[in-house]
Amino acid sequence: MEIANNINDFDSYKQIVFNFNRSNVPYTERVGEPDELSSVIGLVSMGFQQLEDTLSAFIIEMLSVEVAMGKLLLLNYHLQIK
């Protein structure tokens, strides 16, 4: 029961802090058609994220280490180059 209470507390917290409004009205009816530039930027950024995920998985496989260790190594690398 404690877990259920925590979930209910978290849902209440989300409602208060983020004021989520869920509706069955589609995005296009609420906001209108997305503009082409925003759509293209979103698609490009999603493509780069997919490329990064694929390369990360490939590097972890090449290193022949566990996934968790590989992610730590890649995180360390990303932090060093920034």
Average pLDDT per run of 10 along the chain, which is 82 residues long?
60 68 72 80 92 91 90 83 67
Q: What is the pTM (predicted TM-score) of this model?
A: 0.52
Q: Do the domain assignments include residue 68?
A: yes
Q: Do the domain assignments include residue 58?
A: yes
How many domains does the chain fold into? 1
Q: How far is CA 44 from CA 5, 51, 74, 82, in A?
A: 41, 10, 22, 21
Q: Do the domain assignments include residue 79?
A: yes
Q: Do the domain assignments include residue 29?
A: no
Residue the block writes with tokens 């972890």: 60
Q: Do the domain assignments include residue 5?
A: no
Q: Are 20 and 10 in contact (CB under 8 A)?
A: no
Q: Do the domain assignments include residue 3?
A: no
What pLDDT sits at residue 82? 61
Expressed as residue numbers, the domain containing 71 is 52-82
